[in-house]
A and B are shown apart, each in its own frame.
Chain A
Amino acid sequence: MKKRFGLILCCSTLLLSSCWDERLLKEIQLVFTVGYDQTENGEVAVTSVVPPVNPDIKDNKNINIYKTGHTLRDARYKADLNVSEHLDYSKLQMMLLGEELAKEDIYSFLDVVYRNAANNLSSRLAVVEGEATELLYHPLRTQFDISQYYANIIESSELVGVLPKISLQTACTLMFDPGGDLYLPYLTYNEEMARAEVSGIALFNGRKYTGTYLTAEQGTLFNVLMDNTEGSVRMTKKYTEDKQPEVANYMTVEIPNADVSIKVKDDALLTTSIKVKLKIVVTEYAPNNIVGKEKIKKIEKWWEEELKKDTLELTQIMQEAKSDGLAIGRRVAAFHPKRWNEKEWKNQFANIPFEVDYDVELTGTGIID
């Protein structure tokens, strides 16, 4: 009985003490979207978008809090001076990086995100044309809550295969991997529609934004090359020149399945061959009449040529930017470890000859021929 009493006494001392790490949900402001910029004097500017807590408040009533500080943490603490409740970033869904900031070593800005156990590593990242703050202060014509809007447009772009899926964690792995470079969604503001727009993929060299970005069409191709065809990947190209109306010249195909093999040869320049087996389905082609083996062959052949041309163009852009998004370096390190030189790799990469080979198979034409 004495022992029991002792045990109870021990436990009750715990009851007396307060709760140290309590973070009541009702006492914090959730931040879903945040924008980072670098100011002229080298400070970091943080714009946090807090969703309206009262659901009756309609859109464009999001609270934007703009604060600058020496580090991200510093700016975040300062932001608390303006908010009635504590700002909390652990449910962060979207992180926007201003162009100027992205051109620096972005890991030094993101370090806090990785270091703090409370942060959400599956949040998305994007590079913004101009300043992130500016974009966040632009009026948006959307039915949705602005704080969730950016994460949603990224997600819908991933769905149509324009963007590969990049979360904070996958970005971190890419930043550390010398044999592969980071790529992030590139966001711009469309004045006419008063909406943000995913205009492509920003290419990084190491941890720095190169200033070049792939267009949305090139993004789709990049996705195919990354063997990322889980979403519905669609491509549209001008097949003929002379048909009327103009729409009839274009053919849209969907790519349900791609089989990519990238091999690096052990020759002087590390010639890289990219072999892609594609299955395509024609989803839109107004002139109809895709019948007969020969016609199908012809279409397949034409697509092979076109894609090859585009791919070479794509690799050239990446080589010029010295951005190894396709992770050729990783393959060199894995298969030809003797040839692998971490420091020299980027210069080597710029001169790699690419051999591109497409094998397109038309598997379907929808429910009409």
Chain B
Amino acid sequence: MNAKNEITGMQLFFIIVQTQIGVGILSMPTDIGKIAKQDAWISMMLAGITVQIIVLLYMFLLSKFPEDTYYGMVNKCFGSIFGKLIMFAYIIYFLSVLVVSMTGFYQIIASWIFFETPKWVILLLFAVPAVYMARENVVLLARFKMLISFLLPLLFVILSWVYFHPQFLYLLPVGGTGTQAILEGIKPAIFALMGFEAYLFFGYYVKMNRKKELRKAAFATAFVTSFYVFTIITTQVFFYIEELIIVPYPVLYIMKALEFTLLERIDLIFLTIWMIIALSSFISFLFLAANTLEQFFSKGKHTLMVYISIVISYIAALLPTSISSMDKLTSILLSTSLVFTAAIPLITLLLSFIRKLPGKDIKS
């Protein structure tokens, strides 16, 4: 059963959702709110539309080359030397994504639960289950994502408590921050949606009813966007915008303030559960990093590549010590990420048209 190495559209959907939603959601409302103020949700929606267009581009690319992995396409279009170079760039990209998400994870744990536990321990705890999962094939990965997705509604359920005493006035006036700010807010919003590139890589494994199933999975970003919009609106009817800006993890902060009779400090419980979701996103990137390495060396063993990637990123994550240097790395990574998620696939598509590669003929 596993030998087929094949996933369904629904599984791809959840792989993408789980790659996009990570620790980012906990701080995302602040990041966007800093720029777009009370109109952050509009920025988010616009970003969602942008990303959706990119995903459609991916879909087009995937159906043009139904037999190839993404790197196969790149190699075909750019030629093998440039192809290798691009693959190498992707390796660097994925490894730095791993480093950044590890550090982001550590920061949230260190500022919220474990103030004194050393970084290497927390990261090790994070890395062990990630390796354990990422070693496996894509089918098991998809099963894991699907199972973990049952945790997603938890955020929704807990946050709905806010709507007992909402301050909808904080959302008004709609569009009050001006078009300029809203457009600028799209940038952090797209970064929050990062992970949609998983579509490009995991789309290869969808083989049965390819077109229909791929279309199904394309809605993942729409789902994530609506999930994010809900989160942003919830945080904004709870916090006054000036307060939101100084709270780095507004979602957790809301939960910290909510009162339940059975348990208090629901944020601690939520954070530990959410950690599994963050882990799931990390696993996707670890899998992709190993996968890229594997194809880079043409005949690498997947398990070995997972070990290599985790060791490199673990050591790299331990190196930078100050928050500011990490932030710098994050911002560099985020701005270059558009090159990898949008520019290169677009160029690939254009090149395939220019060079008139026979991709389409095979299909028809």
Q: Do A and B come from one complex?
A: yes
Quick check: is A24 within 8 A (CB to CB) of the other chain?
Answer: no
Quick check: is A331 within 8 A (CB to CB) of the other chain?
Answer: yes
When distances are taken between beta carbons in the complex, the residues of chain A under 8 Å from B115 are 21, 117
Q: Tell me how many residues of A have a C-beta within 8 Å of chain B.
A: 27
- What 1/0 flags go to B113-148 for Cβ under 8 Å of A? 111111001001100100000000000000000000
Among candidates B111, B117, B258, residue contacting A21 with C-beta atoms closer than 8 Å? B117
Quick check: is A156 within 8 A (CB to CB) of the other chain?
Answer: no
When distances are taken between beta carbons in the complex, the residues of chain A under 8 Å from B239 are 173, 176
Among candidates B111, B124, B257, B264, residue contacting A169 with C-beta atoms closer than 8 Å? B257
- Residue in chain B with minimal CB distance to A172: B243
B264 touches A173 (CB 8 A): no
Quick check: is A292 within 8 A (CB to CB) of the other chain?
Answer: no
Q: Which of A120, A173, A335 lies at the interface centre, i.e. has the most chain B CB atoms within 10 A of its CB?
A: A173
Which residues B229-272 have CB closer than 8 A to chain A?
238-240, 242-243, 253, 256-259, 264-265
When distances are taken between beta carbons in the complex, the residues of chain A under 8 Å from B111 are 117
B173 touches A335 (CB 8 A): yes
When distances are taken between beta carbons in the complex, the residues of chain B under 8 Å from A60 are none
A21 touches B264 (CB 8 A): no
B121 touches A10 (CB 8 A): no
A120 touches B116 (CB 8 A): no
Q: Which of A167, A178, A327, A334 lies at the interface centre, i.e. has the most chain B CB atoms within 10 A of its CB?
A: A334
Q: Tell me how many residues of B have a C-beta within 8 Å of chain A.
A: 30
Known contacts A17-B121, A21-B114; is-contact A120 B265 (Cβ 8 Å): yes
When distances are taken between beta carbons in the complex, the residues of chain A under 8 Å from B172 are 333-335
Quick check: is B112 within 8 A (CB to CB) of the other chain?
Answer: yes
- Residue in chain A with minimal CB distance to B254: A169
Quick check: is B320 within 8 A (CB to CB) of the other chain?
Answer: no
- Residue in chain B with minimal CB distance to A228: B165
Quick check: is B169 within 8 A (CB to CB) of the other chain?
Answer: yes
A10 touches B116 (CB 8 A): no
B173 touches A117 (CB 8 A): no
When distances are taken between beta carbons in the complex, the residues of chain B under 8 Å from A117 are 111-113, 115, 256
When distances are taken between beta carbons in the complex, the residues of chain B under 8 Å from A121 are 253, 256-257
Quick check: is A20 within 8 A (CB to CB) of the other chain?
Answer: yes
- What 1/0 flags go to B90-120 for Cβ under 8 Å of A? 0000000000000000000001111111100
When distances are taken between beta carbons in the complex, the residues of chain A under 8 Å from B116 are 20-21
Known contacts A334-B169, A337-B173; is-contact A176 B243 (Cβ 8 Å): yes
A174 to chain B, nearest CB (A): 8
A261 to chain B, nearest CB (A): 13
Q: How far is the CA of A334 from the CA of B171 in the complex (A)?
A: 8
- What 1/0 flags go to A152-174 for Cβ under 8 Å of B? 00000000000000011110110
B256 touches A20 (CB 8 A): no
Q: How far is the CA of A49 from the CA of B265 in the complex (A)?
A: 22
When distances are taken between beta carbons in the complex, the residues of chain B under 8 Å from A170 are 257
A146 to chain B, nearest CB (A): 22
B265 touches A20 (CB 8 A): no
Quick check: is B176 within 8 A (CB to CB) of the other chain?
Answer: yes
Q: How far is the CA of A196 from the CA of B113 in the complex (A)?
A: 37
Q: How far is the CA of A170 from the CA of B173 in the complex (A)?
A: 22
Which residues A9-34 have CB closer than 8 A to chain B?
10-11, 14, 17, 20-21
A11 touches B114 (CB 8 A): no
- What 1/0 flags go to A325-355 for Cβ under 8 Å of B? 0010011011101000000000000000000
When distances are taken between beta carbons in the complex, the residues of chain B under 8 Å from A10 are 124, 128
Quick check: is A232 within 8 A (CB to CB) of the other chain?
Answer: no
B182 to chain A, nearest CB (A): 15
Closest 6 CB pairs of A and B: A334-B172, A169-B257, A176-B243, A177-B240, A121-B257, A20-B117
- For the complex with contacts A178-B242, A330-B170, 12 further pairs of A-B residues with Cβ separation under 8 Å are A10-B124, A20-B116, A20-B117, A117-B113, A120-B264, A121-B253, A122-B259, A167-B257, A170-B257, A173-B240, A333-B173, A334-B170
A residues apposed to B, CB below 8 Å = 7, 10-11, 14, 17, 20-21, 117, 120-122, 167-170, 172-173, 176-178, 327, 330-331, 333-335, 337
B residues apposed to A, CB below 8 Å = 111-118, 121, 124-125, 128, 167, 169-170, 172-173, 176, 238-240, 242-243, 253, 256-259, 264-265
Q: List 21 A-B contacts (CB under 8 A).
A: A7-B128, A20-B116, A20-B117, A20-B118, A20-B121, A21-B115, A21-B116, A21-B117, A117-B112, A117-B113, A120-B265, A122-B258, A170-B257, A172-B243, A173-B243, A177-B240, A177-B242, A333-B173, A334-B169, A334-B173, A335-B173
